[in-house]
Amino acid sequence: MYDHLTLLSGRAHPKLAGEIAEYLGIRLASVELSNFPDGEISLKLNQNVRGRDVFIVQPTSPPVNDNLMELLILMDACRRASAERITAVIPYFGYARQDRKDSGRVPITSKLVANLINEAGADRVLAMDLHAAQIQGFFDTPVDHLYAAPILDRYFRSLNIPDKDLVVVSPDEGSIKRTLQHNNNIGGTLAIVDKRRKNALETQQANIIGGPIEGKIALLFDDMISTAGSIVGAVNVVKEHGAKEIYVGASHAVFCGPAIKSLSEAPIKEIVVTNSLPIPDQDKLSNLRTISIAPLLGEAIRRIHRNESVSHLFD
């Protein structure tokens, strides 16, 4: 079934790549990856990829620049080894927040990164939950954009929370569309945290729109948890308004800066994330649950390889 499919992994998240290979029933291709004493990346493909349909699994997660450069070098090696088609599988796309000029004399780094990936040899890109959907248009090659929402929603539905006790909360006005989709799939009522920016580094959450919250079980969703400032601020407001229990769901657990400390001190019963990027042991909270996206990515890879519909996954 997969005579011409080759699955490669960089060093960013080999565990996820291994789970995808297991789903597909194939072995990961052998790659030698190391660093020269000066930090430059050394790479050698240990098997023939000539005429193969190559998929390279490499989230550009922290350390972002190292993992991005490794992805580019992997693609260049496959192109020079005459791969027929190269698909960059990027479960988490770094630099996604720099997607526009929001002030003078700043770059649009996500477009620059898209250009680099195209120039390195990507014929397709497979990504999940880009921070801004318009990033798909930054690439000059086809982009298959997957969503973790169905996986997260399936888990929260399995908790069997009564509809009358459930409220789905948007942590800010910018997340309303995403929260509405979760609300339609899970049920319950809808509420929005009114977030105001105090300055370039701080936001302040104060009011609740919709609801009610008091005595309810609240679910808050975001696409990523980075420093956790916004989501923890929203959680605290929801708690102040009388929520009985609070759950948080997110696609990408970036967890940088004060995130772990803030999340550990917040009144959250459970934090549910995907394994789109690796979570170091020291960043694993007692109330953290990780759900694998390997079956989703594996099925998308299978469909791309066989020229079948990927959007059918969400029908």
Give the model confidence (pLDDT) of 203-240 as tens digits. 555 688 887 899 999 999 999 999 999 899 999 999 99
Question: What value does the mean pLDDT of the chain take?
Answer: 93
Mean pLDDT over 127-153 rounds to 95
Of 117, 145, 173, the residue that ends a domain is 145
Q: Which residues of 63-95 are buried (b: 16+ CB within 10 A; e: fewer)?
A: ebebbbbbbbbbbebbbeeebebbbbbbbbbbb
Q: Please check whether residues 71 and 151 belong to one and the same domain.
A: no
Q: pLDDT tens for residues 171-189?
A: 988 788 889 999 999 999 9
Total number of domains in the chain: 2
Distance, C-alpha 123 to centroid of its chain: 21
* 39 in a known ligand binding site: yes
* 40 in a known ligand binding site: yes
pLDDT band at 195 (very low <50, low <70, confident <90, very high): low
* 222 in a known ligand binding site: yes
Q: What percent of the chain has pLDDT over 70?
A: 96
Q: Please check whether residues 97 and 173 belong to one and the same domain.
A: no
* 131 in a known ligand binding site: yes
Evaluate whether residue 309 is within a structural domain. no
Evaluate whether residue 171 is within a structural domain. yes
What pTM value is reported for the model? 0.93
Name the residue with tokens 């290979």: 21
The set of catalytic residues is 195
State which residues form the domain around 135: 3-145
Q: Please check whether residues 134 and 201 belong to one and the same domain.
A: no
Mean pLDDT over 133-141 rounds to 95
* 124 in a known ligand binding site: no
Kindly tell me if the per-residue pLDDT of 12 is higher than 80. Answer: yes
Q: Please check whether residues 151 and 32 belong to one and the same domain.
A: no
Evaluate whether residue 62 is within a structural domain. yes
Q: Please check whether residues 40 and 168 belong to one and the same domain.
A: no
Angle at 126 between CA 121 and CA 131, to 5 degrees: 110
Q: What is the pLDDT of residue 224?
A: 94
How far is residue 94's CA from residue 282's CA, in Å, rounded to a whole number?
Answer: 22
Mean pLDDT over 145-149 rounds to 95
Kindly tell me if the per-residue pLDDT of 199 is higher than 70. Answer: no
Kindly tell me if the per-residue pLDDT of 107 is higher than 80. Answer: yes
In this structure, what CATH number is given to the domain that contains residue 88? Answer: 3.40.50.2020
Evaluate whether residue 305 is within a structural domain. no
Evaluate whether residue 311 is within a structural domain. no
Q: What is the pLDDT of residue 200?
A: 47
Q: Please check whether residues 124 and 94 belong to one and the same domain.
A: yes
* 38 in a known ligand binding site: yes
Q: What is the pLDDT of residue 308?
A: 94
Evaluate whether residue 136 is within a structural domain. yes
Residue of 122, 121, 83 lying closest to 5 (CA atoms): 83
1 compared with 103, residue with greater pLDDT = 103
Q: What is the pLDDT of residue 175?
A: 85
Strand partners, 268: none
Of 145, 177, 200, the residue that ends a domain is 145
Tokens standing for 242?
């009388």
Q: Please check whether residues 70 and 168 belong to one and the same domain.
A: no
Q: Please check whether residues 188 and 285 belong to one and the same domain.
A: yes
